[in-house]
Structure 1
Amino acid sequence: MDLFGFAKDVGRRVFGKESEADEKIRAMLEADNPGIQDLDVKVENGRVAISGTATDAVAMEKAVLMAGNVQGIEAVDASAVTAPAPVEEVEYYLIKSGDTLSKIAKTFYGDANAYPRIFEANREVIKDPDLIFVGQKIRIPRQVA
């Protein structure tokens, strides 16, 4: 995952002026500890570039989603993040009006009660399974056959 697009006008408000965005987004990522060592964050014109060494592919994916689901960010470049190859296939989903985690679980897994799997895969992005918002991008781990 090198460049990932996001809805610029939705998401969690983390910074007021872009001049403070580098530090605010880096602090947010470090606070929720997505597993990236030597993390560096640069924000310019609504685009975030992150660099560092991820403990695994999931840590990199979560860092990208955390940074991208910030209001004012429209793209995240993770090409400078070193990470091991993914061990699980994931799909990315853009939340639409009327979605719930149960509805998304029913669509992807055939079982609305499987929503905790989606919540756990996105715990750093979704703080409450009942509070998701239109335009938010999340990870959907593939169901193991």
Structure 2
Amino acid sequence: MGLFDFASNLGKKLFGSNEDPAEEIQKHIESDNPGIEGLSVTVEDGVASVSGSAKDQAAFEKAILMAGNVQGIKEVKADSLQLMDNTALNVEYYTIQAGDSLWAIAQKHLGNGNDYTKIFEANKEVIKDPDLIYPGQKIRIPVGE
């Protein structure tokens, strides 16, 4: 599973059968806007397409993660999401497993469990509470910082 593929049966439940998935996902991203201008979201057959302008790599990745970590979304296409600053960041992506905690993930990937706050800060638009993560959720892990 790559950054753009997600487990559609897991994730945050944002919409019901009577709501427009694209509208709800767009509201979700805009509520904690990671740095996207001119955001537009469409959803068809579990595939969310995100367009607009991302101020940097982190904003680009967070918008994709926010859209993809929604129940019912199996893939996110970002072909029309323009990256304004091409400065590359050194990040890894991790799919949370049953029994994981941010502390354990930090210990494994950053070498120090106390660095869980770095993971939380790198995902604050994706993770609202560091104690409430769920299996299947995809996150960014900043490395080398």
Give the TM-score taking structure 1 as reference length: 0.93
Specify the alignment match of 1:24 in structure 2.
Answer: 24
Specify the alignment match of 2:143 in structure 1.
Answer: 142
Q: Look up the equivalent residue of 2:29 and give its one-letter code.
A: L
Specify the alignment match of 2:102 in structure 1.
Answer: 101
Q: Is the partner of 1:139 in helix, strand or coil? A: strand
Query: Distance in 2 between the 1:18 and 1:103 partners?
Result: 39
Contact 1:3 / 1:78 at 8 angstroms: preserved in 2? no
Distance 1:3 1:47, change over 3 A: farther
1:123 equivalent in alignment to 2:124: yes
Structure 1 regions of 5+ residues with no counterpart?
A: none
Q: Look up the equivalent residue of 1:80 and give its one-letter code.
A: S
Identity rate of aligned residues, in percent? 51
Contact 2:3 / 2:93 at 8 angstroms: preserved in 1? no
Specify the alignment match of 1:60 in structure 2.
Answer: 60
Q: Is the partner of 1:105 in helix, strand or coil? A: helix
Q: Look up the equivalent residue of 2:139 and give its one-letter code.
A: I
Give the aligned CA root-mean-square deviation in angstroms.
1.6
Q: Is the partner of 2:48 in helix, strand or coil? A: strand
Q: Is the partner of 1:59 in helix, strand or coil? A: helix
Give CA deviations for 1:100-141 in whole Å, capped at 9, x if unaligned: 000000001110100000000011111110111000000001
Structure 2 regions of 5+ residues with no counterpart?
A: none
Query: Distance in 2 between the 1:3 and 1:95 partners?
Result: 13
Query: Distance in 1 between the 2:114 and 2:125 partners?
Result: 21
Shift of 1:3: 6.7
Runs in 1 of length 4+ with deviation above 6 angstroms?
none
Q: Is the partner of 1:97 in helix, strand or coil? A: coil
Query: Distance in 2 between the 1:140 and 1:3 partners?
Result: 12
Query: Distance in 1 between the 2:87 and 2:64 partners?
Result: 14
Query: Distance in 2 between the 1:116 and 1:19 partners?
Result: 35
Distance 1:18 1:35, change over 3 A: farther
Query: Distance in 1 between the 2:130 and 2:14 partners?
Result: 20
Query: Distance in 1 between the 2:137 and 2:73 partners?
Result: 12
Q: Is the partner of 1:66 in helix, strand or coil? A: helix
